[in-house]
Structure 1
Amino acid sequence: MPVPTAAAHLSREQIDALGAELDALRQRTEASLGERDRNYLEQVVRAQRGLEFAGRALLFAGFLPPAWVGGTSALALSKILDNMEIGHNVMHGQYDFLQDPAFQGTTFEWDTSCPADQWRHSHNYRHHTFTNVIGEDRDLGYGVLRIDAGKPWKPKDLGNPIYAALLASFFQYGVMLHDLEVERIVKGKVKWSDTEDLRRAMARKLGSQTLKDYVLWPLLTGPSAPFTLAANATANLARNLWSFTIIFCGHFPDGVATFTREEAADESRGGWYLRQLLGSANIDGGPLLHLMSGNLSFQIEHHLFPDIPAHRYPELAVEVREICERYGLPYNTGGLVQQFGSVVSKIVRFALPWSTGATPPAPAPDPTKAWTELDLADRAEALTGRAAA
């Protein structure tokens, strides 16, 4: 396995030691899971349901501007919590240890147009296994955007900013179509007939979501039906724009690395961890930002530990950052405006044929903090033995 450029100063032994440290951190966290995590999830679910109830109740008087604004806002917050902090995290299996059928990762369904089973394949398996591997991770541009220099420029890429704006506005539908791999169908690599089962599942979920949001709920509010329909559309748009912003800030700011198939081939456990560290970015902020982002503001920790309850990421981040400092590895983090500005800049930059995608080099390891290969090898052996015990 070739060592990525940003980690060129690390030996194979050091990478293995890195993996052992992160494995030990995972195991310590898993051993502490329990009522604290159950209580957190139940609190979030109660908040999400309360917001949805309040929003629906206010929209019965949606013809009054204050009621419409309040109802729409509550509904948008409810949808964001359902998708980001509950649905996404539950479907990663973060709460499987509870053995509660309502929060079983393999059967949970969420309030969006993408069927949960398809999301589990395209996201949980494809993206988290092949994170940022060019030609394998379809989240790199979602089959629409040129977001990396590893993808050859084509004239259609001039529309990058337009495609990004449309994807942000209709994000739930882009996510729904993701597993269909439309670009492969257009290129003749996949037959339309081979996607029949996928399309049927999409049509069922899309039909139920459309019926619920744009027919049944509006009709239930009687004379306020047109206002309720507009409120539902606005809440969905707000959820789409927010989800797009958080996800893109965690994956595509400057400094996030991509990898060739050769770099990811035959990688060790430590090599996989290293790819997650270098291929993700965090967003600095307070508790409300972290809650409303589903704690995906800690995208680095999420890629390292996707099946650990996400509300644990802030405390895990303290140790992960310290580990990165010791190994001389970059820890990509910044405020929401900074990270999103970087993403927008990259989207515009890669629309142009002469874009190179150059990013700042990784910081050199601090010789006062970096450990010797012998120290790291000894630590890896000790940690492995402790985990086995």
Structure 2
Amino acid sequence: MAITDIPEYAHLTDADIEALGQELDAIRRDVENDRGERDATYIRNSIRFQRGLELSGRALLFGSGNRKIWALGAGVLGVSKIVENMELGHNIMHGQWDWMNDPEVHSTGWEWDNTGPSAHWKHTHNYIHHKYTNVLGMDDDVGYGLIRVTRDQRWKPFYLGNIAYNTLLMLFFQYGVAVQHLELGRVAAGRHPNPDAFKQDLRDVGMKIGRQVGKDYVVYPALVGAVTRSRKTWLRAITATLAANTIRNIWTNAVIFCGHFPDGAEKFTRQDLEDESQAHWYLRQMLGSANFDSGKTLAFMSGNLSYQIEHHLFPDLPSNRYAEIAVRVRALCDKYDLPYTTGPFLLQYAKAWRTIAKLSLPNKYLKGTVDDAPETASELRFKTDPDQRLTATVDPATGRRTGLRTAIGKLRRRRSPVPAIAGQRQAKDVRAA
């Protein structure tokens, strides 16, 4: 089962959690009070950079009759779409730059280069996903209603196609974003609460898809064909744009899955929402999100979602501040002995795919349980250890706190006796020497 008692799982008392919340509130206040010209310069330079990339990519399509120029144009246009969706659209629509009072970068006015209408995305993502992060039955991003990503989801033969479904979702991710708000599963089951609202939402999606398809596959390629007077170049402009959109879709899928589905990104039950305070919400975001290691370039290309933990804690703070916020969040994880889930990008993505592949099968064919598996855990994972403390303790001599991270480490060591024995032998050799 997913986590039903977050304080117990975290090995923290309510007082501990409130203290953690106050320290996270302090981080928010410090960043809010320090926002200024360097942040405004960052977002404006990012916009100029992205628009320059898009202009360059589309200009290269006029030479797409040449294979090398075709590949270069597709690549440049693909990168421009990544930057527009990840660093600009996603973050601007979160309200990260609303404090500037600049209508160009305000969450109410930005319409991104994506088939999903911005208004729909802000409801499904900003509100539903960020408020109910990883809560089963509340957060549609847990498997997107298509993929089994936790053993808490009852297995059905449909899930045998897990890998195929995610491959299609990866290739056509922007269309997955477009239809998510429509809740087609509820419509098919006759459970949509407002059919008239659904019809309007469907029209909005159809209009946005029409505009995107018209721009990418009709208007610009037609302009290329008219200027070059070459049917071959016109067709290659279409395929280059298709390649650019596919590049963006694959990359977006990878970044999002790295933040939500590798080992350590926990799931929760509705029970956890009862009387949830701001501090408890903070803790749920910390336990339910995962980072991947990045330098400045990789962070920028991911919309700074390589710092997914920090983003989920502070979704409306400027993304260029996440790296410095991460230093303080890591320090808090050390102080409260909480895990800080991160790892190399490819490893985190591979773990997400491994989970998707494993969970295409019924639980009876899998190792671990719904309470204690790499991708699923609950407070019951510790019940098998009679000596396991379920409340954090503080060593009065050193001031060191032992809690969840220490408990997880104990479980891992107990399951890997060979390295432990090897370590003991090595220690004995050292003492003998």
- Please give the TM-score of this superposition, normalised by the length of structure 2: 0.83
Aligned mates of 1:28, 1:209 — CA distance in 2 = 40
Shift of 1:323: 0.1
Shift of 1:202: 0.3
Moved more, 240-249 or 360-369: 360-369
Flag structure 1 segments of 5+ consecutive residues without an equivalent: 373-389
* Aligned match for 1:246, one of 252, 255, 264: 255
> Larger Rg: 1 or 2?
2
Q: Does structure 1 retain, via aligned residues, the 8 Å contact 2:7–2:13? A: no
2:270 aligned residue: 261
SS at match of 2:178: helix
Aligned mates of 1:140, 1:369 — CA distance in 2 = 38
Say whether 1:349 aligns with 2:361.
no
Letter in structure 1 aligned against 2:108: T
Q: Does structure 1 retain, via aligned residues, the 8 Å contact 2:57–2:74? A: yes
SS at match of 2:292: strand
Shift of 1:151: 1.2
Aligned mates of 2:338, 2:8 — CA distance in 1 = 7
SS at match of 1:294: coil
Say whether 1:103 aligns with 2:105.
yes
Q: Does structure 2 retain, via aligned residues, the 8 Å contact 1:326–1:369? A: no
**Measured at CA, do residues 28 and 88 of structure 1 come closer, stay the same or move farther in structure 2, by a change above 3 Å?**
same
- Structure 1's consecutive aligned runs of 4 or more residues displaced over 6 angstroms after TM superposition are 360-366
Q: What does 1:305-384 correspond to in 2, within 5 Å?
A: 305-354=314-363, 355=366, 356=369, 358-359=373-374, 367=395, 368=398, 370=400
| Percent identity between the two aligned chains | 47
1:206 aligned residue: 209
Cα displacement string for residues 91-125 of structure 1 (whole angstroms, at most 9, x for unaligned residues)? 00000011000111022100010000000000000
- Please give the TM-score of this superposition, normalised by the length of structure 1: 0.92
Aligned mates of 1:104, 1:188 — CA distance in 2 = 37
Aligned mates of 1:351, 1:101 — CA distance in 2 = 46
Say whether 1:125 aligns with 2:134.
no
1:217 aligned residue: 220
1:270 aligned residue: 279
Say whether 1:235 aligns with 2:244.
yes
Shift of 1:286: 1.3
Moved more, 362-371 or 197-206: 362-371
* Aligned match for 1:136, one of 135, 138, 146: 138
SS at match of 2:11: coil
1:382 aligned residue: none
Cα displacement string for residues 329-369 of structure 1 (whole angstroms, at most 9, x for unaligned residues)? 11000001110111011001111112445128799868545
Aligned mates of 2:186, 2:77 — CA distance in 1 = 36
Aligned mates of 2:28, 2:263 — CA distance in 1 = 28
**Measured at CA, do residues 278 and 65 of structure 1 come closer, stay the same or move farther in structure 2, by a change above 3 Å?**
same
SS at match of 1:282: coil
Shift of 1:10: 0.5
1:152 aligned residue: 154
Shift of 1:266: 1.0
Letter in structure 2 aligned against 1:108: W
Shift of 1:47: 0.9
Say whether 1:73 aligns with 2:82.
no
Moved more, 170-179 or 180-189: 180-189
Letter in structure 1 aligned against 2:192: V
Shift of 1:7: 3.9
Letter in structure 2 aligned against 1:242: W
Shift of 1:5: 6.8
SS at match of 1:107: coil
Aligned mates of 1:196, 1:258 — CA distance in 2 = 32
Shift of 1:187: 2.1
Shift of 1:371: 5.3
Q: Does structure 2 retain, via aligned residues, the 8 Å contact 1:6–1:329? A: no
Letter in structure 1 aligned against 2:37: E
Shift of 1:190: 1.2
Letter in structure 1 aligned against 2:251: W
Say whether 1:170 aligns with 2:172.
yes
Shift of 1:67: 1.4
1:386 aligned residue: none
SS at match of 1:152: coil
Aligned mates of 1:5, 1:233 — CA distance in 2 = 48
SS at match of 2:276: coil
Letter in structure 2 aligned against 1:352: L
**Measured at CA, do residues 109 and 162 of structure 1 come closer, stay the same or move farther in structure 2, by a change above 3 Å?**
same
SS at match of 2:23: helix
2:418 aligned residue: none
Aligned mates of 2:35, 2:301 — CA distance in 1 = 22
Letter in structure 1 aligned against 2:102: D
Cα displacement string for residues 203-226 of structure 1 (whole angstroms, at most 9, x for unaligned residues)? 110000000000001001012211
SS at match of 1:106: coil
* Aligned match for 1:49, one of 51, 57, 79: 51
**Measured at CA, do residues 6 and 163 of structure 1 come closer, stay the same or move farther in structure 2, by a change above 3 Å?**
farther
* Aligned match for 1:285, one of 282, 294, 317: 294
Aligned mates of 2:299, 2:197 — CA distance in 1 = 40
* Aligned match for 2:85, one of 68, 83, 91: 83
